Amino acid sequence: MKTTIGLWIDHRKAVIVAVSGNGEDTKIIESKVEKQPGRIDGVRSTTSFEAQKVPADDSRERIFTGELHTYYDEVVSAVRDAESILLFGPGEAKGELKKRLEKEKLGGRIEAVETEDTMTDRQIAAKVREYYQK
């Protein structure tokens, strides 16, 4: 049974629509990735030694990258059995995931990578159905 997958992804969530002979199934994977913390815009510190209270940029970046790797691993495991993958989304996440899929030897299954703005789950499912009906 041929399974085709449409995957809309950004750093916050992934919507996976699997279309097979049995119908359509939608799965949502939420990431645990926190927005990179920083100071509140326009607010200056009134205390001395504020820099010592804020974690260093490199340690925040390591945490952010580690959370992204965990998120991408979960998405890759969800699409591993697909025969073809349509990858789309608004930002950098689709390119990062494409590299991860190629590293996992799944790059040959990617049919297309498209840029799409933020979409509802129903719009994503409709786009995947329309793409694979062609």
- How confident is the model over 59-90, as pLDDT tens digits? 777 877 888 889 999 999 999 999 999 999 99
Cα dihedral sign, 17-18-20-23:
negative
Residue spans per domain, the chain:
4-35+51-133
Summarize the confidence of residues 13-40 as an average pLDDT: 81
- How confident is the model over 96-132, as pLDDT tens digits? 999 999 999 999 999 999 999 999 999 999 999 999 8
| Mean pLDDT computed over every residue of the chain | 84
- Scan for tokens 């490199």, then name that residue: 58
4-35+51-133 maps to CATH 3.40.190.10: no
Burial of 21 (0-12, 13-18, 19+ CB in 10 A): exposed
Count of C-beta atoms within a 10 Å radius of residue 30: 10
Give 108's DSSP letter: G
Report the DSSP pairing between strands 13-20 and 23-30.
antiparallel
Q: Is the pTM of this model over 0.85?
A: no
How far is C-alpha 40 from the geometric centre of its chain's CA atoms? Answer: 26
User: Do residues 88 and 94 touch, judged by C-beta distance below 8 A?
Assistant: yes
Phi, psi of 96 (to 5 degrees): -65, -40
